[in-house]
Each structure stands twice: as structure tokens, then as C-alpha cells.
Structure 1
Amino acid sequence: MATINFLYRSTKDKANLHLRLLYRFNDIDFVIGANTEFQVSKDYWNNQHKQRVFKKTNNTDELNKIQGIKEIQNDTDKELNNIENHILNAFNIVNPDEVNKDWLQTQINNYYNPPKEAEALPTELLKYFDYFIEVKKNEISNGTYKKYNVTKHLLERYQKTKDNQIKIIDVNDKFKNDFENYCLKNNYALSTISKDLKTIKTVCNHAKHNGIKTSHQLDRIKTPQHKTEKIYLTFEELTKIENIDKRRLNDNYDNAKDWLIISCYTGQRISDFMRFDKSMIRYEKNKQGISKPFIEFTQVKTNKVMIVALHPKVMEILEKRNDEFPKPISDPKYNLYIKEVCRIAGLTDKIKGSKLTDINKEDETEKKAKNKDEVKQFRKEVGMFKKCELVTSHIGRRSFATNFYGTIPTTYLINVTGHSTEAMFLNYLGKSNKDLAMEITNYF
């Protein structure tokens, strides 16, 4: 059992009272002290606080003085009782091993400045989505942050078709089916729908871990992967690109062409290779004593430190450019330029694939009549297109992985691409069990 005492320990005429906590634990007596913020005079505490019997008098001044002392006593007793109860209540719910001077001072501080109760987390899906993004923004890459916002904006458009606010607990089989129907009606690709549903499930599971009630069907919502065409540049096509007559390329296209070749021989994302700089290059000697070039950098998406051997094709470009990498350019311009480079290289055969199309595309007259601030909406259109039209910044990474698969051990390839597991790498390449079984026959 614990008890509380209050002491006046200052030499000043006025001071804050000192609180002393006394308790016994494991047959050991403990005494811990800390200062309160309750101030009294030294004279009152030593001479008047404990005085409960006063000399009878009919003198008005004396009676007023006694009444004043009693009022101070009542106020003091009330405040000290409140402090005592606060400390004892806190003591009764804590492990005595955790009690020390800092703990006691914290409880006193909490008495005067009670911790604010945490704001209740939102149960509406969109409001919680905002909370989720805010919490995660310092933990995720810029690309993931953008993807989360894309899904949120889709949800906002979907919400406008509903009479009531969608709550987290509403994310169930019925929601999944209705959301899918809405997306299909608005020409979203199946793979996009699955990715958005997966993100919505992630948000709901985050809410679940924070104590918000979710549907018992949440875990049963499946987000199947839909097969998409894996577009890459073969070695033969890369040779065509390398051999483009320089007179057919302006400086922008030539710059983009070199970046494209570099990406196809380093296997990195545009967020990484577009940052390449000669200061990242270092040389190491192999077992034969031959000096080999490497580039060291940290991947933006995964935050992994990468050390990648530089292919002779990359070194040829650096040599051509006086040991400098091509000039960095923005993602949109790069995507635009490499399409044109591939067209000039003759990569115009039609193949199956998908590309982004403006679903609100209009003629010039209609465009002028529209609000200039209206946001364009793009959807993936699946069909037969010229290969050059399907080329994007990611093609370099996929080309590297696909072209060297089977000739360079998978373990080494994974080390370059940064995939966490071989299964993830094979899924990235689109290798099925049948493909793997067929490759094994090469060893029989």
C-alpha cells in the first residue's frame, strides 16, 4: 500500500510543495519525491495549515482572519487530495518496478497537463485512406505514394456514384463486385482493377490493426494477377537501335537512345539509371587481376545499395561521351523520345500489348470549348500496336532480365535487378511452370 506526504522544503517565503510517495515492494521500503506546482507560503504551511481549532473571539477582525485561514485550508486540502488521488490511482495500475522519480514527476505533470486523448480514427474508407497516406508518406517511395493517390482518386469517383459514404466495414464481397463492375464500365484494365483492390485491402488491414472493425469477408477478397504482355527489346532489336544513322537523330533522340541502351544493359528502373553519374563508377580487379568497372548506387524504390557490373555496351557509350553519362531528362520526355527512336530503328511490326489512351480525346474544336483545367483521364487499351508505340521507360529493365535469363545464372541476375526472391524474378519475367519444365529438358 502506498501513501502520500506533502512537504515544504524551500527556504523561500513562498514555494511549491514537495510530494513524497512512500510504498513497500518485495519487503523493501521505497521513498520517492518530486515537486508539485501547488504553491503556499512558508508561514501558512508551518503555522496555519494543520491548525483546526481556533481561539474563540468576538472580534470582527479576528473572525475574518480565521475565516480566511479556513478558506485557504479548504482549498489546499481539496487540491492536495486531488493530487494524492491522481498519484495513487496511477500507482495502483503500474508495475512497481517501473516506479521511479521520473515516473512520479511524469504523473504530477500529467495531473496539471492531462495528455490529450487521441483523436478517433475515421471509419469512412476515403477519410481513412487520407490518414493512411499521411502515416505512410515517409516510409514509401515517391512512386508508391503516387500509386496510392491514384487509387484514392478512383475511389473518390466511385464514391460519387453512391448515396452513402463507404465505410471500412463495407469493404466485402458485395463491394468488390460492385467496384469491379464500375471499373469495367469505365474501361479500366483487369490488371489495374486488381492492383487497386489490393491497395484498398492494404488500407483496410491497416485500419483493422488500429482497432477499426472490418468485414469478416475482407480476407476472402481475392485480387488475382492478370497476365499482361511482357514487352522487351531483343538483342537484334538493340543492335538496330545502336546502328541508327546519326543523321536521323537530333540531340534529344540521340541522348535518349544512349539512355535506352544503358537501361537495357544495367537492368535498372528509370528512377535509378537516370541518376547515374561518373562519380558512382569504381574499378575492382577480378581473380585474373583485370580491372572491371562497377557502378554503386542506392535504389530509390527499395532503398537497397546496389553494385552493378557495367557491360561493355555501357562503357562504349561513356567512352563516346568523354566518360560522361547522357544528359538526364524527365520521365515523360524520355518515354516520348524512345518511342520515336524505336520507330526510326524500324521497330514497327504490330504486336499485342496495351498502351494508355485518353478516354476523353476530342477534336480541337471541342477541346477549346472545354475547361482548360479539366484533368485528362487515361485508360489502358489492349490491342495490336506497332512495337515502337509500346516502348516505355521500363522496357530496359525487362529487356535486361529477359535477354540474359538462361545465359547468366539467375542468382546473379537477381543481384542486378534487386528482386527479393527468385520466385518474384520469374513472375516478373512471366515464366510459367510449363516454361520452367521445358527449360529443364535442355539438360537431359
Structure 2
Amino acid sequence: MATISFLYRSTREKAPLKVRFFYMNKGKESFIEVSTKSEVTKEYWQKHHKAKRILDISIKNFQNELLSELNSLENYIHDASMSVDVDRYNKEWLVGVVDGYYNPVVDADTPVSFLDWCDVTAEDKKADLTYNTKKKNKVSLRVVTEYIVSSKKEWLVKDIGIQFKREFEAYCLSKGYSNNTISVFCIYVKSVCNYAAMNGVEVSKTLNLVRVKEEAVDNIYLTEDEIEKIKNVELPSDYLDNARDWLLISCYTGQRIGDFMRFEKSMIRCEENRKGELKSLLEFVQEKTGKRMSIPLSKKALEVLSKRNGEFPRATSDQKYNKYIKEVCEAAEITDMVPGSIKSKTKNNGYRMVAKDYPKCKLVTSHIGRRSFATNNYGKIPTMYLKEITGHSTEQMFLKYIGKGSKDIAMEMFDYFD
């Protein structure tokens, strides 16, 4: 296994860093050392490069940019070393690898414009992306295109770095977009650049800095008492009753609308548990992750299905479902004023999210069932099981999803200590 490090090896006050490549060959440790194009001062390297707390913002920004560049070069050298036999490691080989990093060979017909790569990425990945991801990417592309047109500059893929991030963020803020929405746009931009890089296109050494810190949002969910009110409320029409049952099923299964709206009776099978009791399992493949799921159907979920002899409610569109469940929750008097954001029309006929206090029923969307399931069962069911049902890949992601921080977890630990 090779090890890569960077050193300042000059007597001058400013010089390019050296990259040192350690490797084992026939039981003997060897190393090669060549120059990079990352130039720094001796003072920076000795005093600031490994510093954790830097007050000078210009030095901090340079540190971030340099760390990103060196990390990118290290990964490039490591990948190159894996593709050749250890006997070929020598100075000429490493010089060629480093030169290839700074001067990548690109086919003459390969596009280099960022917007061109947006089109290429969308076409190449159209079979792999879900409908919702395509929809999100389409919005991101529209906003990025508007910015690029307004900047009167043809941004190449290699230009998408920290400077692009600063200018694009300022543009988005001037248009009223929230930090969380801008973060989504930046994730899209980086995904396009990364795909271009996979195809041999040069990218900025500061591409990894194209990110915006997300702000904490209010996690709206239905309490168990509110779910009971929804369950028992008399509704004036069949379509609302149908939507109410889907809402209850989502609260009892913890799945996204793209999954639960596809549920059907054929997905249910029964198996015996350790006590010899027959239990119902729901089996399906998650649309977003492609993960094969097998989740338990609780008595409450089966009770909803019993209304239709074990059949699920009628499927409906996302748009109608979101509208109907607001009406259901209003009928159930889920009307406490809570903080949240609602899309509102602007003077120029656009739309922006407006944050203030609203009746809770107005903030209900298709996602609330999934969040309600996760939040209401946290602390009752081991987190490792809950995240398996919701499909979160890590416990950290699950806790972030339900808005649990270290303080919340610490307070809950008193139940075990006291």
C-alpha cells in the first residue's frame, strides 16, 4: 500500500511543495519525490497549514483551497498507482502522473463548457435517476443557467470553483433563495463537474469548496394524539377518506410517497415469528435508493387495510395527495400555529418560500408521515431497527433527519443512568 505526503523542501521563502510517494517493493521500503505546482510560503507551511483555529480569513480560505487541491492530487496519484505494477514505480513515472494531473489529455471533441456538460450528464444518466431527482435537477439547471446568462461569461467546467461559488451564492441570495435551496443547487453543480472529471475534463482544484452550509429547519411531524384525531375524524367525501388512509399508512410504515403510493396487496406476505405467530411483512424496492425492503406491518396499519379487505387505498397523484391531506388535517383540527415555510408568489410571478408561523395543517405535505413514524418511534424502537425501516444508511443520518442533536441524546441517556 502506497503512502503519499507533501513537504516544503526549499531554502527559499516561497516555493512549490514536493510530493513524496512511499511504497513497498519486495519487502523493501522506497520512496520517490517530485515537485508539484502548489506554491506556498515557508511561513505558511510552518505556522498555518496544520493550524486548527485561524482567525485571518484570507489565510483560512487559502488553507481550505490548498487542502482541497492536495487531497485531489493525492487521490489522483493513488488511483494512478493502482493501475500499474509496483516494478514500474520510478521518478519518470511519478513526474508523468503529476503532469497528467495538471495537464489532463482531453479528446478534441469533448465539451468543456459547464452548460454543455449539464446536457451530457442529463442524457447519460436519464435511465438511472428517479423522477424526483430529475425534477430537482431541472430546477437547479434553470437557476444556474439564469445566473450564467446574467454573468455574461461562459463558465467552463474548470472554472467552477470557489470564485464561482461566491458569485453564484450572492446571486441566489439577491433572488431570495434560502441557504438550504442554494445548497441543493451547489450539489447539482458539483455532480455535473464530477461527471465531467470522470470523462477526462479538467476541473477546478477548489471544486470541493463549492458548497453552502445548510440551516437547521423546523421538523414538522404529527404527534400520536394528532394521528388519532386524523384516524377518528368524520370526513365529508370518499377522496378525503382515501387520502386519510394513505396518510395513516405513511405514519405507520415510514416510507416516502414514491414508495407507499405503489403499495399493493401482492407485496404482503406472512411469516411465523419465534413464538410461532403469523406476522405480516411488506416487501418492495425503494425508488430512491434501489434498496430491497422488508418491513413489518403493525396492527394499526393492518387495521387501515381491513377497511378494503386487505387492499391498499386508491393511488393518487403527489399534487392531489398533498392538497387532500391538508384538508384532512384541517378537518381533524390540527391547527396549532407552528413555524414553517410555504411557497408564495412574488411580484414578478416567481415563487419563494416564506418563513413564519402557520396553522400546522397548512404545513402538512407527503413527507410528514415518514418523519412522524421516525420521530414517534424514536426511543421506543432501537434506532438500528428504525433506520432499517426508513432506509437511512447511517444512524447519524437518521438522527439528523428527526432533528436529534447530542444534547437530546445526552438527556435521554439519563433514563439508563438514573
Deviation at 1:378, TM superposition (A): 2.7
Deviation at 1:216, TM superposition (A): 2.0
Alignment of 1:17-416 (within 5 A): 120-245=109-234, 248-360=235-347, 377-416=350-389
What do the CA deviations read for 1:22-61 (whole angstroms, capped 9, x no partner)? xxxxxxxxxxxxxxxxxxxxxxxxxxxxxxxxxxxxxxxx
Q: Which amino acid letter does the alignment assign opposite residue 299 of structure 1?
A: Q
Is contact 1:357-1:378 (8 Å) kept?
Answer: yes
Distance in 2 (alpha carbons) for counterparts of 1:313 and 1:232: 18
Distance in 2 (alpha carbons) for counterparts of 1:198 and 1:257: 35
Is contact 1:293-1:309 (8 Å) kept?
Answer: yes
What do the CA deviations read for 1:298-333 (whole angstroms, capped 9, x no partner)? 111111111111111111111111221111000000
Distance in 2 (alpha carbons) for counterparts of 1:283 and 1:431: 34
Structure 1 SS opposite 2:310:
coil
Deviation at 1:354, TM superposition (A): 1.2
Distance in 1 (alpha carbons) for counterparts of 2:110 and 2:356: 44
Larger deviation, residues 340-349 vs 130-139 = 130-139
Gaps spanning 5+ residues in structure 2: where? Answer: 1-105
Per the normalisation by structure 1, the TM-score is 0.68
Is contact 1:121-1:128 (8 Å) kept?
Answer: no
Deviation at 1:286, TM superposition (A): 1.0
Distance in 2 (alpha carbons) for counterparts of 1:427 and 1:439: 16
% same residue: 47
Structure 1 runs (4+) deviating above 6 angstroms are none
Structure 2 SS opposite 1:160:
helix
Per the normalisation by structure 2, the TM-score is 0.72
What do the CA deviations read for 1:178-213 (whole angstroms, capped 9, x no partner)? 111111111111101011112211211222232222
Partner of 1:435 in structure 2?
A: 408
Distance in 2 (alpha carbons) for counterparts of 1:321 and 1:119: 62
Structure 1 SS opposite 2:338:
strand
Deviation at 1:118, TM superposition (A): 6.3
Is contact 1:269-1:397 (8 Å) kept?
Answer: yes
Distance in 1 (alpha carbons) for counterparts of 2:370 and 2:220: 11
Distance in 2 (alpha carbons) for counterparts of 1:134 and 1:231: 36
Deviation at 1:358, TM superposition (A): 2.5
Distance in 2 (alpha carbons) for counterparts of 1:336 and 1:217: 43
Q: Which amino acid letter does the alignment assign opposite residue 157 of structure 1?
A: E
Larger deviation, residues 212-221 vs 397-406 = 212-221
Partner of 2:48 in structure 1?
A: none
Distance in 2 (alpha carbons) for counterparts of 1:195 and 1:277: 33
Deviation at 1:360, TM superposition (A): 4.7
Tell me the matched-pair count: 312
Gaps spanning 5+ residues in structure 1: where? Answer: 1-116, 362-375
